[in-house]
Amino acid sequence: MTTTAPQYSEPPVGTDAEAIDVHAIRADFPILRQTVNGKPLIYMDNTATTQKPQAVIDALSDFYATRNANVHRGVHHLSVQATQAYEQARLKVRDFLGASRVEEIVYVRGTTEAINLVAQTYGRANIHAGDEVVISTMEHHSNIVPWQILCQQQGATLRVVPINDAGEFLFDEYEKLLGPRTKLVAVTHVSNAMGTVNPVERIIQRAHACGARVLIDGAQAVPHMKVDVRALDCDFYAFSGHKVFGPTGVGVLYGKFDVLDAMPPYQSGGDMIQTVSFEKTTYNDLPARFEAGTPNIAASIGLGAAIDYVTAIGLDRIARYERGLLHYTTEALSRIPEVRMIGTAADKASVVSFVVDGVHPHDVGTILDSEFGIAVRAGHHCAMPLMKRFNVPATVRASMAFYNTREEIDALAGAVKRVVEVFG
Ligand code: 7TS
């Protein structure tokens, strides 16, 4: 697995570009029609957040216009309607992830909250002094800091799996870190900063073989590929609605029923209880036990609409189309000698991180925006330990969704060339 040179799973094939009708798709996204700094918007910051199709926007406004009420607490017509829509969306999430039971789907604010929930409930109940939590070098801060805090609270140790120069998870090193003290492995499915797709199925199997539970951070996986939590056999899977073409403010924690059911509550208050007296409180069944307070009802319904939308296109077609985009972008940028790629794993999602000789990533990002209307992210991508591993302060990151086109990638490559000519 120690690969240092760029390697791509398959050469570009013409049919990838035809996997979806990109111009028809683009018509579904009103925001893509605008111009930025006098140029048509080229949105390549999908890893930070994705744009919303009209169907999602309509689901939100329709909810507020026709069904707005609180859920799980009213006998009146609107409350019943709101509750039905909210719970129907949960069924969509269950099917989207391939979970067996709807009780395994907990609505949260996003991936960050999902991971904090697991750390502070499962973690505090099951991870004690001398135990170990294993993460990898490529984690987003939200899959590092909650475990760091937990380890400090409990006197446990955080162990970190190294990566190679291509940005790949080093499985052999991972195996060496596992042992009887390992209680939990928390690894990202897809790296937000490099696009590396991790071999999560093997990672999970290996962790289970030594009795550890596994949380997969799926924030960057669900927009790009079909995920099946039962096939993966993970104990927890987390993702954010806004990264899969849904609204901000809602995300999902999947947990195996028995694991979730044995966990103490997270936040407490309304809806998570069965009975309350000043002497004693009993808690609600799953998933309500982990959903204290009024949830983001509209966003959950909007997430359901986003799931319907991507499911109708088909995750397999999306993955094929994006594979074509990834090859095309990698080739276009690799032809510029001043560009150095950060993250050249054999298996990648459509995320391309790079640095340009002699030009700071923030300057590249600013010029791409102001001169070319291209939205990329420049920074550490909430993965500072990863930046340190590659000895760079930051990278420029172009992250593509299925509404991006090859013409936009040509524009990106042309713009980077221009940056090199003028500022390099
Ligand atoms: N995990 C991964 C792998 C992520 O990419 C992100 C967000 C999160 C967790 C946190 O998600 P949230 O919805 O709770 O904020 N990633 C990014 C990014 O790459 N640029 O901006 C946010």
pLDDT tens figures, 273-306: 999 999 999 999 999 999 999 999 999 999 999 9
For residues 213 and 289, membership in a common domain is answered with: yes
CA distance 414 to 355: 15
For residues 365 and 393, membership in a common domain is answered with: yes
Residue 269 within any structural domain of the chain: yes
Query: Where does the pLDDT of residue 98 fall: very low under 50, low under 70, confident under 90, or very high at 90 and above?
Result: very high
For residues 299 and 334, membership in a common domain is answered with: no
Q: Which two tokens stand for residue 277?
A: 């007296």
CATH number at residue 277: 3.40.640.10
Ligand 1: lining residues by beta carbon, under 6 Å = 47-48, 110-112, 140, 142-143, 188, 192, 217, 219-220, 240, 377, 381-382
Number of domains the chain is built from: 2
Given this model, what pLDDT does residue 424 score? 79
- How far apart are the CA of 219 and the centre of ligand 1, in A? 6
For residues 30 and 92, membership in a common domain is answered with: no
For residues 72 and 218, membership in a common domain is answered with: yes
Domain that holds residue 227: 58-311
Query: Where does the pLDDT of residue 73 fall: very low under 50, low under 70, confident under 90, or very high at 90 and above?
Result: confident
Mutate to test the pocket of ligand 1, among 190, 220, 381 (most ligand atoms within 8 A of CB): 220
Indicate the residue among 311, 332, 349 that finishes a domain: 311
CA distance 152 to 147: 8
Query: Where does the pLDDT of residue 151 fall: very low under 50, low under 70, confident under 90, or very high at 90 and above?
Result: very high
Indicate the residue among 281, 311, 341 that finishes a domain: 311
For residues 305 and 320, membership in a common domain is answered with: no
Query: Where does the pLDDT of residue 74 fall: very low under 50, low under 70, confident under 90, or very high at 90 and above?
Result: confident
In ligand 1, the atom with minimum distance to the C-alpha of 142 is 9
> Does the active-site annotation cover 382?
yes
- How far apart are the CA of 339 and the centre of ligand 1, in A? 25
Indicate the residue among 289, 311, 333 that finishes a domain: 311
CA distance 103 to 241: 18
- How far apart are the CA of 204 and the centre of ligand 1, in A? 22
Residue 5 within any structural domain of the chain: no
Q: What is the mean pLDDT of residues 192-221?
A: 98
- How far apart are the CA of 48 and the centre of ligand 1, in A? 6
> Which residue is associated with the tokens 């609605």?
241
CA distance 217 to 303: 18
In ligand 1, the atom with minimum distance to the C-alpha of 113 is 14
Given this model, what pLDDT does residue 15 score? 72
Residue 11 within any structural domain of the chain: no
Q: Which residues contact 146 (CB under 8 A, 6 or more apart)?
A: 115, 116, 118, 119, 120, 123
Number of other CB atoms surrounding residue 128 within 10 Å: 12
For residues 329 and 246, membership in a common domain is answered with: no
Amino acid at site 203: I
For residues 160 and 280, membership in a common domain is answered with: yes
Mutate to test the pocket of ligand 1, among 46, 49, 111, 189 (most ligand atoms within 8 A of CB): 111
pLDDT tens figures, 9-40: 443 445 799 999 999 999 999 999 999 989 99
Q: What is the mean pLDDT of the chain?
A: 95
Query: Where does the pLDDT of residue 388 fall: very low under 50, low under 70, confident under 90, or very high at 90 and above?
Result: very high
- Given the residues 151, 210, 234, 382, select the one marked as catalytic: 382
Nearest to 406 by CA among 332, 345, 313: 332
For residues 217 and 252, membership in a common domain is answered with: yes
Given this model, what pLDDT does residue 9 score? 40
In ligand 1, the atom with minimum distance to the C-alpha of 383 is 19
Q: What is the mean pLDDT of residues 208-212?
A: 98
For residues 135 and 219, membership in a common domain is answered with: yes
Residue 9 within any structural domain of the chain: no
pLDDT tens figures, 325-357: 999 999 999 999 999 999 999 999 999 999 999
CA distance 415 to 121: 48
Query: Where does the pLDDT of residue 5 fall: very low under 50, low under 70, confident under 90, or very high at 90 and above?
Result: very low
Pick from 6-15, 234-243, 409-418: least confident: 6-15
In ligand 1, the atom with minimum distance to the C-alpha of 190 is 3
Residue nearest to atom 22 of ligand 1 (CA): 48
For residues 282 and 322, membership in a common domain is answered with: no
- How far apart are the CA of 13 and the centre of ligand 1, in A? 31
CA distance 146 to 421: 43
Q: Which two tokens stand for residue 347?
A: 């298996």
For residues 158 and 302, membership in a common domain is answered with: yes
